[in-house]
A and B are shown apart, each in its own frame.
Chain A
Amino acid sequence: GENVEQHPSTLSVQEGDSAVIKCTYSDSASNYFPWYKQELGKRPQLIIDIRSNVGEKKDQRIAVTLNKTAKHFSLHITETQPEDSAVYFCAAHVSAGGTSYGKLTFGQGTILTVHP
């Protein structure tokens, strides 16, 4: 089945700096890669996603890049703000075939702290 590795487990930055979180996946059939932000005691919320037919996607201060050959994808947050502090999860999804079909396989999470 799919395995997703996420690094780093914790990330501390100063307000205004950039933050980068990286994930690798094992199943080459994975073709949808969402990123979720989870604040303490809250539900995970989708912040950006990318499909395997594109290499990069941007939404204001957030961008995601995907390298299918190397099977890794990254989340980039620019001009970080204290309200960006949360746990971020990457995930991979296989939509056709494979043993991971239909479900999300999550990375281990990154605790991002943005210091004012």
Chain B
Amino acid sequence: GEEVAQTPKHLVRGEGQKAKLYCAPIKGHSYVFWYQQVLKNEFKFLISFQNENVFDETGMPKERFSAKCLPNSPCSLEIQATKLEDSAVYFCASSRRKMNTEAFFGQGTRLTVV
């Protein structure tokens, strides 16, 4: 598609429940990035993929966060045992190349942990 598609748009989870977010990158884009935007607006990088391979996972809280990009499937970001501080908007972005190229963002998934 011509847009990065993220689902769901909103997700509410009780503390301790699992949350799973999905992202379909633009067709032909090889790189996928996940960012977390918290209430103060700041973007925190979580993880990036080159096709189905993890490219950079330096931002991932490894204990509870995991992510995958499998062939012919949307990419996913999963949070096990959600905590209140996981409440944020999670953006996925894709780009054609990793060098000097525009990253296109999805509409985001607003996760609220109650």
The interface of chain A, by Cβ under 8 A from chain B, is 1, 31-32, 34, 36, 38, 42-46, 49, 51, 87, 89, 93, 95-96, 99, 101-106, 108-109
Contacts and interface: CB of A to CB of B under 8 A. Distances in A.
B102 A46 contact: yes
A46 B95 CA distance: 12
Given A43-B107, A49-B102, A103 B43 contact: no
B41 to A, nearest CB: 4
Which of B45, B56, B104 gathers the greatest number of chain A CB atoms within 10 Å? B45
B103 interface: yes
Given A43-B105, A44-B91, A44-B105, A105 B45 contact: yes
A34 B105 contact: no
List the 6 shortest-distance A-B pairs measured between CB atoms, nearest first: A95-B99, A106-B43, A109-B41, A32-B100, A43-B105, A102-B98
Contact of B99 (A87, A96, A106): A96
B4 to A, nearest CB: 8
- Interface bracket on B: 20 to 34
B103 A101 contact: no
B91 to A, nearest CB: 7
A95 to B, nearest CB: 4
A104 B91 contact: no
B114 to A, nearest CB: 20
B102 A104 contact: no
Contacts of A87: 41
A35 to B, nearest CB: 11
A108 B98 CA distance: 23
Which of B40, B55, B56, B99 gathers the greatest number of chain A CB atoms within 10 Å? B99
Given A102-B48, A103-B33, A95 B108 contact: no
Given A31-B100, A42-B107, A45-B105, A102 B91 contact: no
